[in-house]
Structure 1
Amino acid sequence: MRLLETAYMSRVDYGEAWELQKQLVQEIDREERPDSLLLLEHPPTYTIGTDRHPEHLLYGPEELRRRGIQVFQIDRGGDITYHGPGQLVGYPLIYLAAEGLDLHAYLRSLEEAIISLLAEFGIVGGRKPEYTGVWVDDEKIAAIGVKFNRARTRKGFVTSHGFALNVKRNVEQEGFRGIIPCGITEYGVTSLEKLTGSDQSVEEIADRLLPHFVRVFGYEKTATQSEIRSRQAR
């Protein structure tokens, strides 16, 4: 049985979530924990991936302090993006066996789970061949940036980092103004609230996304972190 451990963690500081990912990657590698999906929000944060372009950060240090935005240079792929309140961030920590490994298929599966969620709201999400992420026409609604961590105890990789889905209208209006998102100048960003006019909470969208994620990735059962801990205690 393929079991997925899930947790909605509300608002978590980016540095804390990054350290937690590193810990869970090691535990999954050692087969001490099943595949996991963390769903959460971050306080205002810019993250800069391995395709580093400092010029895509438009705010200087003083403006960043005034706005209370933290900046992290991290080990995922991609350029700069924004995380903040009103955005659903998902960190799938999944073991991918080396045999038959298709890293591009993993990215397409992340996109497919979000595209399926959008369809519930009558929104036609799609892809752009030259970019990762999920798009509605010429506006990005979900960014994707991942890392494939080589497993140490078995052949394959454990994923980390993941996706960021813009739920609330304030996300597109606030943090994205201070950057050139992913270095893309010709397209904008959008949000679920802007497209639907409905006021959904981030936690509600997390609950609605989960069954799509489970179906796309082929899990047979999910469990919360507390359920996993109680089983281990027995």
Structure 2
Amino acid sequence: MSRRCFVVEFKEPLGYGDGLTFQERAFEKVSAGEADGILLLLEHKPVFTVGRSGGRENLLVDERVLEAYGIELYETNRGGNITYHGPGQIVAYPIFNLSKWKKDLPWYVSCLEEVVIQVLKDYNIKAGRKPKYRGVWVADKKIAAIGIAADRWITMHGFAFNVRVDKSHFELINPCGIKEFSVASLDDFVEDVDFREVVKKVKEKFSLVFETNFKKELSEGMS
């Protein structure tokens, strides 16, 4: 199937609220049929987000500590528990009309995981899934978190892939509500990892996994 899909890459970290605004704009364009899919790739300024499953009980410090660290706290409509976003982490927000692919949310989440798994494979890192927990894992360490939302089969939110992230921020929460496992970052395994190279690989793997060529041209208001 031929699909009209676009990628928008942001060079500077965005506040979480700005990220939501761009998702909403992309959602409007996809809903209006101006595109079948819009992939937003970005970094966020430091923020903890709480999903529909809750998660405030997994915040281990009070808001005064967050203020001292310069970390925002946001409640959002994605699935999942509490998670962290920050510089050095690739956040992918695919705003896709799944009617143009497959109306199957578990399939879609598996595809998101596969994008990260394929990127890590390029760095000779064996990654996989855990039956109980969504996301991408290297052994017992989570390297990418996933939380999505969908309305009329159009997706929002997506994944957060740790590339060279400040892992000390994760110590302020039980990431995704999980206490028995820890987190990993690509720079744990790859010395002098090139962040922009990893972004490029993420774009390539999205094209491969979703069998779609993403164009860069898009009308005003998205970047």
Structures share fold, TM-score greater than 0.5:
yes
1:26 aligns with one of 21, 25, 28 = 28
Within the alignment, does 1:97 sit opposite 2:87 as a pair? no
CA distance in 2, matches of 1:183, 1:228: 37
The match for 2:83 is 81
Instruction: Say if 2:4 and 2:35, in contact at 8 Å, map to a contact too.
Output: no
CA contact (8 A) 2:55 2:176 kept: no
Root-mean-square deviation (CA, aligned residues, Å) is 1.6
Structure 2 equivalent of residue 196 of structure 1:
190
Over alpha carbons, which structure has the higher Rg? 1
The TM-score, its normalising length taken from structure 2, stands at 0.93
Alpha-carbon deviation of 1:99? Answer: 9.4
Q: Which moved more, 1:33-42 or 1:88-97?
A: 33-42
Whether 1:216 and 2:206 are equivalent positions in the alignment is: no
After the TM superposition, which of the residue ranges 191-200 and 209-218 deviates more from structure 2? 191-200
Q: Does 1:228 align with 2:218?
A: yes
Q: Is the 8 A contact 2:3 2:100 kept in 1?
A: no
Structure 2 counterpart of 1:48, one-letter code: V
Deviation at 1:85, TM superposition (A): 0.7
Percent identity of the aligned residues? Answer: 38
Q: Which runs of 4+ in 1 moved over 6 A?
A: none
1:6 paired residue number: 7
Partner of residue 111, structure 2:
109
Which ranges of structure 1 fall in alignment gaps of 5 or more residues?
Answer: 151-156
- Would the aligned equivalents of 1:87 and 1:171 in 2 still touch at CA under 8 Å? no
Q: State the partner residue of 1:171.
A: 166
1:100 is displaced (CA, Å) by 5.6
For the structure 1 residues 213 and 98, does the alpha-carbon distance in structure 2 shift closer, same or farther, using more than 3 Å as the test?
closer
* Matched residue SS, 2:219: helix
Instruction: Give the whole-Å Cα distance in 2 for the aligned partners of 1:105 and 1:199.
Output: 30
CA distance in 2, matches of 1:100, 1:6: 20
Q: Give 5+ residue unaligned stretches, structure 2.
A: none
Match of 2:157 among 136, 157, 161: 161
Q: Counterparts of 2:132 and 2:102 in 1: how far apart (Å)?
A: 24
Residues 38-77 of structure 1: pairs in structure 2 closer than 5 A: 38-77=40-79
What is the Cα deviation at residue 98 of structure 1? 9.1
Tell me how far 1:104 sits from its aligned partner: 0.3
State how far apart, in whole Å, the 2-side matches of 1:211 and 1:53 are: 33
**Higher strand proportion, which one?**
1
* Amino acid across the alignment from 2:180: E
How many pairs does the alignment contain?
A: 218
* SS of corresponding position for 1:127: coil
- The alpha-carbon deviation at position 77 of structure 1 amounts to 0.2
Deviation of the 1:175 alpha carbon: 1.4
Q: Are 1:193 and 1:200, in contact at CA under 8 Å, matched by a contact in 2?
A: no
